[in-house]
């Protein structure tokens, strides 16, 4: 039996929880990702900017428009309220 992509991708599962879990406050979470357009090469958005989570990336409101970010560009997901890092890319470690 094949394992679905949802079970193999902890980042996708985490972002889906931020969108759908009413017990979490998405505003507490910050998602940092590589961005070619940013001066430092890194951008960050709050969890409440998430619009949709796909199989290989997510869509978020950035600067008033929707923007697609592939999962391989995500560097870190952090809960700013607690300081806990919930996800860190192996490349960033």
Query: What's the angle, vertex CA 72, arms to CA 89 and CA 67, rounded to 5?
Result: 120
Domain range summary for the chain, segments of one domain joined by +: 26-88
Angle at 39 (CA atoms; ends 32, 80), nearest 5 degrees: 25
Residue range 61-72, pLDDT digits in tens: 988 899 999 999
Distance from chain centroid for Cα 79:
11
How far apart (Å, rounded) are the C-alpha atoms in residues 21 and 32? 21
What topology does CATH give the domain 26-88? SH3 type barrels. (2.30.30)
Among 76, 84, 80, smallest CA distance to 11 is for 76
pLDDT tens for 20-61 read: 999 999 999 999 999 988 889 999 999 999 999 999 999 999
pTM, two decimal places: 0.86
């Amino acid at each position: 039996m094949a394992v679905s992509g949802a079970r193999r991708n902890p980042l996708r599962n985490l972002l889906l929880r931020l969108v759908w879990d009413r017990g979490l406050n998405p505003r507490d979470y910050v998602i940092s990702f590589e961005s070619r357009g940013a001066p430092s090469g890194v951008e960050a958005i709050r969890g409440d900017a998430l619009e949709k989570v796909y199989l290989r990336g997510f869509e978020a409101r950035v600067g008033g428009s929707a923007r697609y970010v592939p999962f391989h560009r995500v560097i870190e997901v952090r809960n700013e309220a607690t300081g806990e890092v919930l996800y860190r890319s192996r490349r960033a470690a």
